[in-house]
């Protein structure tokens, strides 16, 4: 038995509960990571954004805040093939975050940019998950 095979938790996992998801709504968010990745299913290129909704932006009545002391991370995937449909979608994504646009995009320009994210819920493996539905420029 090696040390790498042992996992240690602060509490008994047999009593673990799913954390309450942040309520559906529109929240300010900040980009923490932006990268290009190929889809495992299709092989097509994607922009992968990880944004964070800061804990101070949670609704006052949200009782699950203690589960997210560093905010709620959300990951979204955006097709970026060189075709009319995906160029337009990339344009809308860049507009939402105020990223400069031309024939060449630098994904580093997304870093630490802010926008509003529409957050929704969807079930995954029997647990309600939070999902970034869309982004819009800050108002």
- Of the pLDDT bands very low, low, confident and very high (cuts 50, 70, 90), residue 39 is very high
75 belongs to a structural domain = yes
Q: Which of 101-105, 108-112, 115-119, 127-131 is least confident?
A: 127-131
120 belongs to a structural domain = yes
Of 13, 10, 17, 9, nearest to 127 by C-alpha is: 17
pLDDT of residue 1: 55
95 belongs to a structural domain = yes
pLDDT at 22 over 60: yes
The residue segments making up the domain with residue 71 are 28-136
- Of the pLDDT bands very low, low, confident and very high (cuts 50, 70, 90), residue 138 is confident
35 belongs to a structural domain = yes
Q: How many domains does the chain have?
A: 1
pTM above 0.75, yes or no: yes
pLDDT of residue 35: 97
Residue 74 in contact with residue 131, Cβ under 8 Å? Answer: yes
pLDDT at 128 over 70: yes
Of 81, 84, 93, nearest to 137 by C-alpha is: 93
13 belongs to a structural domain = no
Q: Where are the alpha helices (DSSP H) in the chain?
A: 84-97
Q: Alpha-carbon distance 132 to 116, whole Å? A: 10
pLDDT of residue 107: 97
65 belongs to a structural domain = yes
- Tens-digit pLDDT profile for residues 103-112: 999 999 999 9
pLDDT at 3 over 90: no
User: CB under 8 Å to 63, separation ≥6 — which residues?
Assistant: 20
8 belongs to a structural domain = no
- Tens-digit pLDDT profile for residues 50-94: 999 999 999 999 999 999 999 999 999 999 999 999 999 999 999
Token pair for residue 114? 């802010």
2 belongs to a structural domain = no
């Amino acid at each position: 038995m090696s040390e790498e095979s042992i996992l240690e938790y602060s509490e008994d996992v047999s009593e673990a509960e799913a954390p309450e998801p942040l309520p559906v709504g529109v929240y300010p968010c900040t980009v923490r990571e932006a990268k290009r990745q190929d889809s495992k299913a299709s092989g097509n290129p994607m922009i992968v954004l990880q944004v964070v909704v800061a804990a101070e932006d949670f609704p006052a009545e949200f009782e699950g805040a203690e589960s997210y002391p560093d905010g709620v991370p959300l990951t979204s995937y955006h097709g970026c093939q060189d075709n009319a449909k995906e160029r337009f979608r990339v344009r809308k994504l860049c507009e939402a975050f105020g990223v400069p646009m031309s024939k060449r995009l630098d994904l580093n320009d997304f870093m630490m940019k802010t926008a509003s994210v529409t957050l929704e819920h969807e079930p995954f493996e029997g647990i309600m998950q939070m999902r970034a539905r869309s982004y819009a420029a800050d108002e």
